[in-house]
Structure 1
Amino acid sequence: MESVDSIIETSKAYKADANEYFKTGNYKKALFKYHLALNQLRVLRDPKGQKSEAEAMASMVSPSGEGAPAPTRPEDLADIKELKRTIHLNMANCYCKEEKFKKGVEAATRSIELQPTVKAYYRRAVAWIGRGDYDAAMSDLKEAASLDPTDRSVKAEMDVVERKRKAEVARQRKQLAGMFGRP
């Protein structure tokens, strides 16, 4: 059985590989490696004694076998949480680059659930914009701005969302006018 340290290190290595693929624009391979990084962490047993995700799935098929290691050191728990948070955040970025905005929203949400950050709210807002949900995007940008009022990129994105909202309202008005206008 692998140790907690080796599982964390393997996960970090997959994440580093994924980051390299991302830098070269190979988002599919990056996503694959990010998934591998998360899968490494899924074998770890919850320190509260609960089964790992992998054990829970395996016990549905065959309820036997040796248990997975459980992280007990506070630094391991913090390291795992941070690793999961950044992997989900990076996956959100990949999904947005691939124009898979629904998955981008989901990945950013998982990152936010682990720790709300400006970057996570910003990434989820970008995914909402891609889905055309400007209200949700603005809500996330306001959350990001509340965490860091000095972040200029958040303010700039809020301006973009406001312009897109106005353009959408104008488009809808024009469309409605055409429906009720003269033939």
Structure 2
Amino acid sequence: MAPAPRISELRRAGNEQFRSGQYSQAAALYGKALELLEATGDVDPEERSVLYSNRAACYLKDGNCSLCIKDCSIALDLVPFGIKPLLRRAAAYEALERYQLAYVDYKTVLQVDCTVQAAHDGVNRMTKALIEKDGLQWRQKLPPIPTVPVSAQRRWDSPVGSQEDTSRSKSNNTAPVTKPMTTAATTERANTLKQEGNEFVKKGNYKKAVEKYTESLQLHKLECATYTNRALCYLNLKRYKEAIQDCTEALKLDTKNVKAFYRRAQAYKELKDYKSSVADINRLLKIEPTNTAAQKLLQELNKLLK
């Protein structure tokens, strides 16, 4: 059999083994396809990247996180900013408790496509883990988060069957180029404004931070953290109704956002709506039962209700 059909056959067989839960066999088949590609001198980076990413998924399922990370890194060297290898590497880092590197990969995915729920969930988990590990200064210890170029951003592409389909159909995409380009640039600006808001929060200048977060949200309304950050500012400025509104918007985007529940509970408490505050804290504790700040607030609320 000619090399190209044989490689496709091995890949299909690997996919079938993976779907049936035979991860070791699938990894071996993907490995054979890679060997054959290299033996034929085929330098197609996309094909090789997909095979490495697929084999990484097998390693991840089998709990071999180090090999998963290695294959994902190769896949990303071949085709930078691929969503699947980024998510798989992030999951492997997370399993190894390398939370900073997992956070960076999850955040990178959201630059590529801000609608990937697995990345939003991963960022939330890593944030909690890093706060517990490094305290409130955890952001200062993060490695740099790469800036995804506009050409790699896909958040406004038309939905397609898979990541591979997306990359292969770009040449046939009839959508105007200017729309995603403009929106991507706008989103980059929104992220910059959010970071500027964060800096003002660190300085205690909540009024100026609100201005920056508001500008950011005018450009990009799907950023959950910007709502919870602005809610924190509103709490400090005693603008409790606005804090509640922002937390509610955040919860529309992420129904298990701990910060949104906690800050909304704080705002309800200040407005003496203790029942609503208790309801939010109870929801929070279902998500994160060991949250000491929430437990303490609940004790205060129970005393107030008595």
TM-score, with normalisation over the residues of structure 2?
A: 0.40
Report the counterpart of residue 237 of structure 2 in structure 1: 98
**Greater relative contact order, per chain length (Cα 8 Å cut-off, separation 6+):** 1
For residue 151 of structure 1, report the CA deviation from its aligned partner. Answer: 1.3
Number of equivalenced pairs: 126
Matches within 5 A, 1:1-183: 3-41=182-220, 81=222, 84-116=223-255, 117-166=257-306
Q: Percent identity among equivalent residues?
A: 28
Structure 1 unaligned spans of 5+: 43-80, 167-183
Deviations 1:37-90 (A, max 9, x none): 011126xxxxxxxxxxxxxxxxxxxxxxxxxxxxxxxxxxxxxx3xx2111111
Structure 1's consecutive aligned runs of 4 or more residues displaced over 3 angstroms after TM superposition are: none
Q: Distance in 2 between matches of 1:160 and 1:118?
A: 18
Q: Please provide the CA RMSD for this pair.
A: 1.3
Q: Distance in 1 between matches of 2:229 and 2:304?
A: 25
Structure 2 unaligned spans of 5+: 1-177
Q: Distance in 2 between matches of 1:111 and 1:94?
A: 15
Q: Distance in 2 between matches of 1:34 and 1:134?
A: 28
Letter in 2 for 1:39: Q
Which of the pair has more CA radius of gyration? 2
TM-score, with normalisation over the residues of structure 1?
A: 0.66
Q: Distance in 2 between matches of 1:29 and 1:105?
A: 19
Q: Distance in 2 between matches of 1:112 and 1:124?
A: 10
For residue 155 of structure 1, report the CA deviation from its aligned partner. Answer: 0.8
For residue 139 of structure 1, report the CA deviation from its aligned partner. Answer: 0.2
Secondary structure of 1:25's counterpart equals: coil
Secondary structure of 2:238's counterpart equals: coil
Secondary structure of 1:149's counterpart equals: coil
Q: Distance in 2 between matches of 1:129 and 1:109?
A: 15
Deviations 1:2-49 (A, max 9, x none): 52321111001000000111111111110000011011126xxxxxxx
Q: Distance in 2 between matches of 1:12 and 1:25?
A: 20
